[in-house]
Amino acid sequence: MVIALDGATWNLARPWMQAGHMPNLARLVAQGASADMLAELPPSSVPNWPAFMTGKNAGKHGCVWWLKRDAAGRLDRVPLDSRSVQGDTIWSLLSALGKKVIVQNVPVTYPVEPVNGVVVSGLLTPRAAADFVYPPDLKAKIDDEVGGYQIYPEGGYAKGREQAFLDALIANINQHARAADYLLRTQSWDFFILVLGPTDEGAHKYWHYLDPAHHMHNPAEAAKFGDSIQKMYAAADEAIGKLTRHAAESDTVIVMSDHGFGPVERFFLPNNWLMARSLLRLKPGGITPLKRLLFNAGFTPRNIYPLGKQALSLLRGSKNLRQRLDPARQGQSPLRKIFLSDADIDWAHTQAYASGFLFSQIYINLRGRDPEGIVSGSEYETLREQLIAGLLAVINPATGQPHYARIYRREELYSGPLLDTMPDLIGHPADFRTVDSGMDFRSNKLFETDSALSGTHRIEGLFTITGPGVRRGEQISPIRIYDLAPTILYRLGVPVPDDMDGKVASPAFEPDELAAYPVQIAPARNTRASEGSVFSDEDEDTIKDRLRDLGYIS
């Protein structure tokens, strides 16, 4: 049994456990082994949920960001889906071996794939989709049980809606726990996983209420909402208590997160840095020069989105018009068409472009790989070294120190047959209160504060495991997120495929347990077939809207 609190951190959970707000997690930690869980870089839900489900790094599973190249090879065009994840998953391997599985609310599992059991998909499912349950006839039963199952919380965060959205986040946790309880009561299972997403989404939006050092912190507002994240963790802890009642003494229970969390106050915009050095250039003709002038004057998503939402809120009784004009709607709002975007890039004269969030993902416009690539293979390494040196010299004005702790070459982080699809460089910020925003041109500044998010991801997540032969009350050395898959397979008596990067978390187990049940390695099975995207244009827009709500894309 795996219960995942998306984005949860020991920095919050341990004090709340000690204060009595999370008694169920405290019990599991006391009964078993716990550790920091180190996320794959970048420490975002992608690549980390694919790493969890495959036991592999992104050079093998192929997913490093929420958006991927389209059929023409253009970056950041198409949302990921379950078929984007290359290779076997925990549940495909177990299904092939006749084990029964229940997989609920794991990101990047839509469209649902046939398994020996149940799949209810999670994040990246189109909001209007009705086909997110396998087997399909189970959806009506789940809906009847919980009053209409909703993948996402209702509504969104905004000033004046703090309490309403907090209530929606907690209601989402509770409904998903009820659905999981129903599945555990009515379905056979050898492996079960539930991901609770609001612990991540809530921390993105409510962090400044609990953090007196945050630049957005307001004591009067904190008096009202300073315990919001604690309430979400407490709701998740109640779910842990409810669901672990279904675990027998012979079962293994894991509680984990895909990454940690902490405050964020500023963003560095690497595309503006590239543009200032003529490494990224804009089209000289058409409407682009006008858009550049507006951009320089401050007509940017960072400045216009809040004003636009405020103005649109005055258009009472005209929901469709408000939705159509909302500048946050990718590809649909006419207001977005006058923002500077990647459509304005002059690829014939652009050498590099940044994507991603948290850690900048920099792609060199390489001839033979990119649709309009101009950098030759012989120039590639020289340009990478130039970029590394330049980026390491960037100074964070808030600290007076270098913004980056390190710039990784892709081969330093990833390996495998899909290495060539990975970013050419990955920037690791030194101070996580200032992270990267590589999507489009959300501001005309090099460093910018942002009110959309007050918290964001950290590398260190949480992990605890209980069960027969597990060391009791021990804190072990950190594990990697791709160690979870081989550890789960080991506990189910299944050999670990030899193409997994992860290793069984052996320090969590007593020596006698490891001696009695040694880890077995077997050749990879490759039971899954990967296919192209299944999303319609409308689906893509709704998924991008969801990612925008979370602050992951602009």
CATH top-level class for 2-64+87-100+197-261+457-546?
alpha beta
pLDDT band of residue 322 (cuts 50, 70, 90) is: very low
- Please give the pLDDT value at position 549: 59
What is the mean pLDDT of the segment spanning 337-361? 91
pLDDT at 547: 62
528 pLDDT above the threshold of 80: no
Nearest CA to 253 among 1, 513, 533? Answer: 1
Q: Is the pLDDT of residue 245 over 60?
A: yes
Q: What percent of the chain lies above the pLDDT cut of 70?
A: 90
SS3 content of the chain, % helix, strand, coil (to 5): 40, 20, 45
Q: What is the pLDDT of residue 548?
A: 59
Per-residue pLDDT at 123: 92
Nearest-CA neighbor of 199 among 16, 402, 436? 16
The reported pTM is 0.91
Looking at the predicted structure, is the pLDDT value of residue 305 above 80? no
Each residue's pLDDT tens digit, 44-75: 999 999 999 999 999 999 999 888 887 777 77
Using pLDDT thresholds of 50, 70 and 90, give the confidence band for residue 442.
Answer: confident
Average pLDDT, the chain: 90
User: What pLDDT does residue 321 have?
Assistant: 46
CA torsion, points 53, 57, 61, 62, in degrees to nearest 10?
A: 140
* Residues linked to residue 375 through DSSP beta bridges, in sequence order: 366
The number of angstroms, rounded, from the C-alpha of 309 to the middle of its chain's C-alpha atoms is 25
Q: Is the pLDDT at 331 greater than 50, yes or no?
A: no
Q: Is the pLDDT of residue 98 over 70?
A: yes
Where exactly are the structural domains of the chain?
2-64+87-100+197-261+457-546, 266-282+340-449
Residue 332 reports pLDDT greater than 80: no
Give the pLDDT score at 14.
98
In the beta sheet, which residues pair with residue 35?
Answer: 463
Angle between helices 228-244 and 23-31 in degrees, nearest 10? 60
pLDDT tens by residue, 395-422: 999 999 999 999 999 999 999 999 999 9
Please tell me the class of the 266-282+340-449 domain. Answer: alpha beta
Nearest in space to 552 (alpha carbons), one of 356, 267, 268, 360: 356
| Mean pLDDT confidence for 343-364 | 94
The DSSP secondary-structure symbol of 313 reads T
pLDDT, one tens digit per residue, over 447-486 is 999 778 999 999 999 999 999 999 999 999 999 999 999 9
Under 8 Å CB-to-CB from 437, ≥6 apart: which residues? 267, 268, 269, 357, 443, 448, 450, 554
- Whole-angstrom distance, CA of residue 390 vs CA of residue 406: 12
Percent of the chain with pLDDT over 90: 79
Neighbours of 473 (CB within 10 A): 10
Residue 539: the pLDDT is 59
Weakest mean pLDDT among 324-333, 357-366, 447-456, 468-477 = 324-333
3-state secondary structure of 260: strand
In three-state secondary structure terms, 257 is coil
- Are the C-beta atoms of residues 1 and 251 closer than 8 Å to each other? yes
189-225: pLDDT as tens digits: 999 999 999 999 999 999 999 999 999 999 999 999 9
Beta-bridged to residue 118, according to DSSP, are 102
- Whole-angstrom Cα distance, residue 22 to residue 16? 6
Nearby residues of 95 by Cβ (< 8 Å), 6 or more positions away = 101, 114, 115, 116, 117, 527
